[in-house]
Amino acid sequence: MQQPIPPTSSYYRSDAAFDWLYPERIQRLSRRHWTPIGVVKKAAQFLAQEPGRKVLDIGSGVGKFCITAAHYFPEVSFFGVEQRKSLHRHALSAQRAVGIPNVTFIHGNFTQIDLTEYDHFYFYNAFFENLDQDDPIDHQIEYSVSLYTYYSRYLYKALESKPPGTRLVTFHSLEDEVPPGFQVVDASVDLLLKMWIKY
Ligand SMILES: C[S@@+](CC[C@H](N)C(=O)[O-])C[C@H]1O[C@@H](n2cnc3c(N)ncnc32)[C@H](O)[C@@H]1O
């Protein structure tokens, strides 16, 4: 007998439910590498203030932030850029499975895309893998402290040139990429999640 197809909204009930969209290896990485659903909701609520805005997830992994945020905020366009081809493919498959239209996944390094095209940004400490290789996503790319510094400075400069009103959410960040013009306007009690606005 054919299994009934679950309603797509049921994926957002919990992290475990959402992770079922992916193969087991990707599910095992979830706790350490993909944003928990509760955090996505808070971050997206802050970033998706006005319809029609474009929000970029820098280092979008398997697409958990973008897909979940897009489900709760259908009038905002979410974009994710991811350097690992295999994760980008998993993001596209998950997007197809839930049938969410307002997400675009880009394969590439974030330094290769035009960051001036996006209004607001989400950043889950994407460059930290260059400093700490405990429980890595894979062994497919090179890690180095100088890459961490290069990426952090690159993002810092891009954010520095954004107009006032630009919103940024950081999760587990060392804040090396946040220029002084950005001020914290809200944060989680443990300070791991921070909401910033450029003044
Ligand atoms: C901690 S994971 C977060 C994934 C996703 N944002 C989420 O919250 O579920 C960070 C991701 O950033 C990606 N990444 C790291 N450096 C990158 C770069 N320079 N350009 C694009 N992606 C990058 C990694 O491959 C990894 O998938």
- CATH assignment at residue 32: 3.40.50.150
126 touches ligand 1 (CB under 6 Å) = yes
Question: In this model, does residue 1 exceed pLDDT 50?
Answer: no
Q: Would 56 be classed as within a structural domain?
A: yes
118 touches ligand 1 (CB under 6 Å) = no
Q: Would 130 be classed as within a structural domain?
A: yes
Q: pLDDT tens digits, residue range 86-115?
A: 999 999 999 999 999 999 999 999 999 999
Q: At what angle do helices 64-72 and 37-47 cross, to 10 degrees?
A: 60
Range of the domain at 142: 8-198
Number of structural domains in the chain: 1
73 touches ligand 1 (CB under 6 Å) = no
Question: Which atom of ligand 1 approaches the CA of 84 most closely?
Answer: 25
Q: Would 42 be classed as within a structural domain?
A: yes
Q: What is the DSSP letter of 126?
A: G
Q: Would 32 be classed as within a structural domain?
A: yes
Whether the CB-CB separation of 153 and 127 falls below 8 Å is answered with: no
Q: Does the pTM of the predicted model rise above 0.75?
A: yes
Rounded Cα distance, 57 and 63, in Å: 9
Which of 22, 58, 133, 169 is the pocket-test mutation for ligand 1 (most atoms within 8 Å of CB)? 58
Mean pLDDT calculated for residue range 123-133 = 93
Q: Would 3 be classed as within a structural domain?
A: no
Tell me what the pLDDT averaged over the chain comes to. 94
Mean pLDDT calculated for residue range 41-50 = 96
Q: pLDDT tens digits, residue range 168-188?
A: 999 999 999 999 999 999 999
Nearest CA to ligand 1 atom 11: 59
C-alpha distance across the termini of the chain, in Å = 59
Rounded Cα distance, 67 and 159, in Å: 24
Rounded Cα distance, 59 and 56, in Å: 9
Q: Would 117 be classed as within a structural domain?
A: yes
